[in-house]
Structure 1
Amino acid sequence: MAGRLVIVGAGQAGFALAAKLRALKDERPMTIIGSEEVLPYQRPPLSKKYLMGEMSFDRLQFRGPEWFAENNVEVRLSTWVEDIDRSAKTVRMQDGSTVAYDKLALATGSTPRRLPAGVGGDLEGVLTVRDKRDADRLMEEMQPGRKLLVIGGGYIGLEAAAVARKLGLEVTLIEMADRILQRVAASETATIMRDIHLAHGVLIREKTGLVRLIGTDGRVSAAELSDGSVIDVDFVIVGIGVTPNDRLARESGLDVGNGIVVDQFTRTSDPDIHAMGDCALLPLNEAQVRLESVQNAVDQAEAAALVLNGEEKPYQPKPWFWSDQYDVKLQIAGFNMGYDETVLRPGQREGSHSVWYFRQGRFIAVDAINDAKAYVSGKKLLDTGVEPNRAILADHSADLKLLLA
């Protein structure tokens, strides 16, 4: 039997690694270390169905305690690793105890960026969306008629705005860049999503930054914006991106960039340490990227399980993402980094659209807005490496199935 595997991080990637290894009949002793007080659970529904009261927390958990016991997976909750001793092959916990490992997996995820205290980030009522504690605090704040300021026009901010409007709050969203989704999507996708939010009553203010939050008795009560206006707010959601949790790797001397550098086999610069999920900086299309998605966390963790189980199979990412806002499902296949051309195509039913991305003439990604056929077709093209016929894409009456013929 192989020596102990220690998994630092009890999120999607950490659980997926343990589950895949047990599915592969790998019997090595395993310890998962997590800072939260609950067993591993799904995060995406936290800011949607859980927050809306449509899904109880127990339905979010991957497995109950009996699964971990039956599969000989030790879980240490409400604790965290202070440092890694690579020469001794141990991790030191915050209470001073140590855990020895034969192999170590870093599935430490990422942390939402917060506003600095100098602009009011330390005021009560200034929240982020990441874990169950965040969602529980938001649940208390999201009461009908209250005024919410969302800072950041990325997917996290837009999803939070959608839930708040559905719950009857007044929502203002500010984005410092020229438009929402500027970093992650084409202007065509941004325009469609902006129109959807405006139709649902969200006030979107682009090219507008935050100067400072104003507090009353320690709690946020107003916001001064870069256009000189001051608006009343009851609470604030900050959605300005995340930073990878790579401190342990950095301090132990592993190669780190914008995340923990791994090779195509999920190994770090120390062959006995793997990394996966949001914290990992992986090779993709001759670049190093971090893929912040559930799909990548699971796929990369399962790829690491194969390697740990003795199969030297490289991880070849095939990214896909999704975002639910109101009754709109935005599905994304591929990775649009470096795109230089887009094609906007209306779908076959009202309100459906797709945006097709190209780089140097090659198809690299598709955004499908309420258009499952476009998503499936685009994903199959990417999986097979077949280039879409431009004439079919340009013919809005053509069936997208012809792209796969």
Structure 2
Amino acid sequence: MSPAARFWSRKAMASASSFAAAASLKRGVSPWRPEPPALGRTTPRRSSIGLGCFRRSYVAAAFDNENREFVIVGGGNAAGYAARTFVEHGMADGRLCIVSKEAHAPYERPALTKGYLFPLEKKPARLPGFHTCVGSGGERQTAEWYKEKGIEMLHEDPVTSIDIDKQTLTTDSGKLLKYGSLIIATGCTASRLPEKIGGSLPGVHYIRDVADANSLISSWEKTKKLVVVGGGYIGMEVAAAAVAWKLNTTIIFPENHLLQRLFTPSLAQRYEEFYKDNGVKFVKGTSIKHLEAGSDGHVCSVKLEDGSTIETDTVVVGIGAKPAVGPFERVGLNTSVGGIQVDSQFRTKIPGIFAIGDVAAFPLKIYDRIARVEHVDHARRSAQHCAKSILTAQSHTYDYLPYFYSRVFEYEGSPRKLWWQFFGDNGIICY
């Protein structure tokens, strides 16, 4: 080939590359490396020609996440355990982005109503001590851990909308994020008392994240009378922690006994007697009519449906949780148990989109029905199962036995520490 021919050949190749780069920018695909088909998809995606010189200007101009192959929405336990699985399979570095409303890296949420609420002299749990995955004996995944593993973390910026066709997400701050495969791990939000009956008054607390727990602890430093609304996990754990603060504590719930979903009447009686021995009072079989505010606008009493009134200066509400489906209704909801409908691999009806943890309505194999489980153990296991399904050839059905547990009165100086575990729907009690 003559020098002139070689010159025009190189020029033609350069023009073709420039054209391909421009086309890939138009499609929203990163031009700085070939983009493989997103794992878990049923249809392949076109790849672009790798041109490293375009990387920085493109990322800044088009999308606000550098890692676009896999995106996890949610910053709870499920997200943390999924991230660990990506790392274990060598698929996290430069490929995984986590976007969350949380200000912290994922942590073991059960600590918030257990060790976190203890008084300072009782050595309370604090971050970074309970970051994921220490709850299952794994490595503590601090913010530094995610950085070292090449995982992009976007904090305090919840996703507000999704464009399924363009495979993009928009966050509260206006960031536009691109994804290949998307894992929804948004968990639940605490159920609240209606605002019209005082559910949002100053002095009324709900616990779902570290900020909530910090707010409650600050209030307890000057609390004298505490009312806990709800006789389930949250109510029992909060009341047990309040004993360590020596607070005048009353638990109110409409059922006939504590934890009616799992406890038998005789078992509940044993626990209620222990709480009473520690100074906790019970008001059972009645509901909240409204919360009353004092002259300063702060909650001062609880009016019950039976006509009685209980004075208080702090209220903690633990009446359950709701799946945080947020902007993902179009992905496909389950109308019976709530949450996002998925199959045994945690795939939604939209190819390339998955849901795990509390927000997922999944086939519960052992009972042959669709279920939604709000528990840390399911969050961990569903995250690992889903990630492995995306990253490997794993195709077996998620086989899960519902598991529930609680630990109360664990602080220093407590005369007795109580633990319980339940397996299955009706519960096998282990001491």
TM bucket normalised to smaller: 0.7 to 0.9
- Report sequence identity in percent: 32
Question: Does structure 1 residue 317 correspond to structure 2 residue 400?
Answer: yes
Pick one of 238, 242, 265 that aligns with 2:345: 265
- Report the TM-score, using the length of structure 1 for normalisation: 0.80
Aligned counterparts, 1:5-20, within 5 A: 5-20=70-85
- Work out the CA distance in 2 between the residues paired with 1:138 and 1:308: 40
- Work out the CA distance in 2 between the residues paired with 1:247 and 1:184: 29
Q: Deviations over 1:225-248 (max 9, x none)?
A: 122111210110001100000132
The match for 1:332 is 421
- Work out the CA distance in 1 between the residues paired with 2:353 and 2:331: 12
Give the AA of the match of 2:417: V
- Report the TM-score, using the length of structure 2 for normalisation: 0.76
The match for 2:14 is none
Assess if the C-alpha contact under 8 Å between 1:322 and 1:329 holds in 2: no
- Work out the CA distance in 2 between the residues paired with 1:93 and 1:313: 34
Pick one of 282, 287, 291 that aligns with 1:213: 291
The match for 2:8 is none
Give the AA of the match of 1:319: P
- Work out the CA distance in 1 between the residues paired with 2:331 and 2:223: 51
Q: Deviations over 1:241-261 (max 9, x none)?
A: 0000013221x2423331111
Pick one of 307, 311, 315 that aligns with 1:232: 311
Q: Deviations over 1:78-133 (max 9, x none)?
A: 10111111111111112333111111000001011111111111210000111101
Pick one of 363, 379, 386 that aligns with 1:297: 379
The match for 1:223 is 302
Pick one of 232, 236, 252 that aligns with 1:158: 236
- Secondary structure of 1:99's match? strand
The match for 1:132 is 210
Assess if the C-alpha contact under 8 Å between 2:341 and 2:360 holds in 1: yes
- Secondary structure of 1:165's match? helix
The match for 2:112 is 46
The match for 1:401 is none
Give the AA of the match of 1:271: P
- How far off is 1:163 after superposition? 0.4
- Secondary structure of 2:258's match? coil
Pick one of 260, 267, 286 that aligns with 1:189: 267
Equivalent residue pairs, number:
341
Runs of 4+ residues deviating >6 angstroms: none
Give the AA of the match of 1:254: G
- Work out the CA distance in 1 between the residues paired with 2:347 and 2:263: 30
Assess if the C-alpha contact under 8 Å between 2:223 and 2:314 holds in 1: no
- Secondary structure of 1:248's match? coil
Mind listing any 5+ residue stretches in structure 2 that lack a counterpart? 1-35, 39-68, 133-140, 410-415
Give the AA of the match of 1:111: T
Mind listing any 5+ residue stretches in structure 1 that lack a counterpart? 340-364, 372-405
Give the AA of the match of 1:35: K
Query: Which has more radius of gyration?
Result: 2
- How far off is 1:145 after superposition? 6.4
Relative to total residues, which structure has the larger strand share, 1 or 2?
1
Aligned counterparts, 1:4-403, within 5 A: 4-27=69-92, 29-52=95-118, 53=120, 54-62=124-132, 63-143=141-221, 146-216=224-294, 217-250=296-329, 252-257=330-335, 258-284=338-364, 285-310=367-392, 311-326=394-409, 327-336=416-425, 339=426, 365-368=427-430, 371=431
Which one has more relative contact order, counting CA pairs under 8 Å at least 6 apart? 2
- Secondary structure of 1:136's match? helix
Give the AA of the match of 1:303: H
- Work out the CA distance in 1 between the residues paired with 2:191 and 2:333: 22
Q: Deviations over 1:124-153 (max 9, x none)?
A: 000011110111011112237610001110
- Work out the CA distance in 1 between the residues paired with 2:161 and 2:263: 38
- Work out the CA distance in 1 between the residues paired with 2:422 and 2:199: 35
- Work out the CA distance in 2 between the residues paired with 1:67 and 1:8: 18
- How far off is 1:2 after superposition? 6.0
- Work out the CA distance in 2 between the residues paired with 1:233 and 1:118: 19
- Secondary structure of 2:384's match? helix
Give the AA of the match of 1:229: S
